[in-house]
Amino acid sequence: MESGQKSILIVEDEPKLAEVLAEYMQQAGFKTHWISHGLEVIPWVKEHKPDLLTLDLMLPGRDGIDIFRELRSFSLIPVIMATARVDEIDRLLGLELGADDYVCKPYSPREMIARTKNILRRIARPLQEQASESVIQIDNERMEARLNGIRLDLTPVEFRLLHQFFSNPGRVYSRTQLLDCIYDDYRIVTDRAIDSHIKNLRRKLHEAMPDQEFIKSIYGVGYKLEFL
Ligand code: CA
C-alpha cells in the first residue's frame, strides 16, 4: 500500500453503485471502505478516522442528515452528500448543515472523484498559503479586489458578493443566502436583482481574465465560485 494514501468511506445502500464508485476511487489511488447501513457509520468513523466521506441520504437504519449532524458534533471530516432529491440541496448546503459538497443522483463516479480530489487538495494546504497563491485577492479593509493583479472596479454589493464566495470557494449559495450576506437591512430585493449583480460581477471578472469562468450557476439552486 502506498504511504499517505487517503481513505474514503463510501456510505451507500445500493451495492452496485457503491461497487462502481469504490472501483473508480481505488483506481484514482484512494483506499475505500463501504458501509450500507446508517447505524454503522458513526462508530466506524470514530474508530478509523477516514479522510473523507461520501454520504447517501436515504439509508436503512438512520438517514444521512441525522448521521451528518452527529458527525459534525465531533469531527470536521469533509462530507460529500449524494441525493436524488434536488429540493433537499438548499438545506444540505445551507448554513443549517453546511456539507462540503454534494452530487445529484444519478451521478458519474468521475464527478465524485473530481469533487473528492478538489476538497482534499483544498484542505491539504494552510489557508494563508492558499490566499497568497490565489489568482483572486481580497483586501477587506480597503474593499478592494484584484484578479491576477488587476484591480477590479466593483460596486460595494459586487465586492460583498465576491468576498462571500471567496470565503467559501466551491460552496453553493442560494439567492436567498446571498441576499442575507450582502444586505444589512431588510430592503425588498428580488432574486432578479441578485442575478443582475452576479451578471455584472461576472463581466468584470471576465474582462480581467477572459479565459476563465469563476462564478458558476447551479441550476435551480444558486451560484458558486470556482478557481484553482
Ligand atoms: Ca439510498
Q: Ligand 1 centre and the CA of 82: distance in Å? A: 9
The model's pLDDT over 119-141, given as tens digits with 9 standing for 90+, comes to: 888 777 655 455 556 788 888 77
Q: Ligand 1 centre and the CA of 36: distance in Å? A: 9
203 domain residue, yes or no: yes
Q: Do 52 and 140 lie in a common domain?
A: no
CATH code for position 41: 3.40.50.2300
Q: Ligand 1 centre and the CA of 188: distance in Å? A: 40
User: What does each C-alpha distance from 2 to 30, 77, 100, 125, 162 come to in angstroms?
Assistant: 9, 21, 26, 21, 40
Domain stop point among 123, 144, 161:
123
Q: Do 21 and 103 lie in a common domain?
A: yes
Q: Ligand 1 centre and the CA of 57: distance in Å? A: 6
Q: Ligand 1 centre and the CA of 54: distance in Å? A: 12
Q: Do 52 and 94 lie in a common domain?
A: yes
Q: Ligand 1 centre and the CA of 102: distance in Å? A: 14
Instruction: Say how many domains are in the chain.
Output: 2
Question: Does the pTM exceed 0.85?
Answer: no
162 domain residue, yes or no: yes
The model's pLDDT over 61-93, given as tens digits with 9 standing for 90+, comes to: 999 989 988 887 888 788 998 988 777 766 666
Q: Do 151 and 97 lie in a common domain?
A: no
Residue 196's domain comprises 136-225
